[in-house]
Amino acid sequence: MTRISILGIPNDDNSSYLKGAADAPALIRQELHSDAYSIWSETGVDLGAEGRLVDHGDIGFDGDCDPWELIERHVGQALASGDPLISLGGDHAITHPIMRAVRRRHPRLTILHIDAHPDIYHAYQGNPRSHTSPFARIMEESLADRLIQVGLRTVNDHHREQFRRFGVEVIEAGQMGAGIRLDIATPVYISMDLDALDPAFAPGVSHREPGGLSPRQVIDLIHAVGQPIVGADIVEYNPHRDISGLTATVAAKLLKEIGGVMVRNARMNAV
């Protein structure tokens, strides 16, 4: 049986506007396991099957160790089994240390980054670890071969300079049509920022940006990935901004669909 690992990374130290994303992992888990919903994915995978989900709990941040070292170490331990890992943030800054651990296991790798924001500032408010900067660090350290960013709608001139510098492939929200298919030939890491979605679907984020994607568009994009998905993160859920737990429900749904494709593609590659 293909297993899926889950790891909570409750860290929002580098959020630039509002804190709160550190409280997200427990609430996403609560929705994932709620009796109100099926835990089957649309791709026909029962994530509730015995042994399917391996939950490594949450990383404890006590201040005695650099959070980046803790994240990299715990992610590496979770990946040691060979199972794909879904990390629950936390703000988007955590993707940088996650990718340090992921890259050690995958010499060929494409990141599919779904977000309203490029998060590729060289630094923001003087902080190179800002949640607006992880992909600058990731590309500087060659932690991926390709970076594909989908759903963007806040691009400025600095971002465009960074796109050129790092060879980023961009599909802005206004370019999103039905049935987009990405030509990817390597294993894939999905970084899912919930503010990629229009605030009508996911109000529980710190940086609401109208004009975003629908859950259906994001799910269809995930389903279209044909290569192994070796890891993913779901970040920037801020429960303090949510309405009736709507965003937590969407986050849990996306977790199920990412997990379902992880299992589906592992089966396909095993044949």
Say how far apart CA 263 and CA 271 lie, in whole Å: 13
Asked if residue 1 has pLDDT above 90, the reply is: no
* CA proximity to 19, closest of 236, 249, 248, 209: 236
Can you name the CATH fold of 4-270? Arginase; Chain A (3.40.800)
- Give percent of the chain above pLDDT 70: 99
Question: Residues near 203 by Cβ (< 8 Å), separated by ≥ 6?
Answer: 241, 242, 243, 246, 247
And the tokens for 205?
Answer: 């984020």
What is the structure's pLDDT at 45? 97
Q: How far apart are the first and last CA of the chain?
A: 14
Radius of gyration, CA atoms only, the chain:
17
If you ran DSSP here, which 8-state letter would residue 213 be given? B
Three-class SS state of 50:
coil
| Average of per-residue pLDDT across 4-19 | 96
Q: What residue spans define the domains of the chain?
A: 4-270
Residue pair 215/250 in contact by the 8 Å Cβ criterion: yes
Asked if residue 271 has pLDDT above 60, the reply is: no
Which ranges in the chain belong to alpha helices (H)? Answer: 24-32, 67-79, 95-105, 134-140, 157-166, 215-223, 246-270
In the structure, what pLDDT confidence band is assigned to residue 180 with cuts at 50, 70 and 90?
confident
Q: What angle do CA 251, 255, 260 make, to 5 degrees?
A: 150
**What's CA 185's distance to the chain center, in Å?**
20
Residue 4's DSSP bridge partners are: 53
If you ran DSSP here, which 8-state letter would residue 210 be given? S
Three-class SS state of 100:
helix
What is the structure's pLDDT at 62? 83
| pTM assigned to the model | 0.97
Residues belonging to the binding site for Mn(2+) are: 92, 115, 117, 119, 193, 195
Cβ atoms < 10 Å from Cβ of 160: 14
What is the structure's pLDDT at 176? 83
* CA proximity to 40, closest of 202, 196, 218, 264: 264
* CA proximity to 113, closest of 74, 162, 80: 162
Asked if residue 178 has pLDDT above 70, the reply is: no
Select the more confidently predicted residue: 179 or 168. 168
| Average of per-residue pLDDT across 184-206 | 98
Residues belonging to the binding site are: 92, 115, 117, 119, 193, 195
* pLDDT digit string, tens, across residues 21-75: 999 999 999 999 999 999 999 999 999 999 999 999 999 998 789 999 999 999 9
Residue pair 225/11 in contact by the 8 Å Cβ criterion: no
What is the structure's pLDDT at 63? 78
Asked if residue 270 has pLDDT above 80, the reply is: no
What is the structure's pLDDT at 111? 98
* pLDDT digit string, tens, across residues 82-136: 999 999 999 999 999 999 999 999 999 999 999 999 999 999 999 999 999 999 9
In the structure, what pLDDT confidence band is assigned to residue 179 with cuts at 50, 70 and 90?
low
And the tokens for 154?
Answer: 């806040």
Mean pLDDT of the chain: 96
* pLDDT digit string, tens, across residues 213-242: 999 999 999 999 999 999 999 999 999 999
Asked if residue 181 has pLDDT above 90, the reply is: no
What is the structure's pLDDT at 220? 95
Phi, psi of 256 (to 5 degrees): -60, -40
Say how far apart CA 223 and CA 60 lie, in whole Å: 33
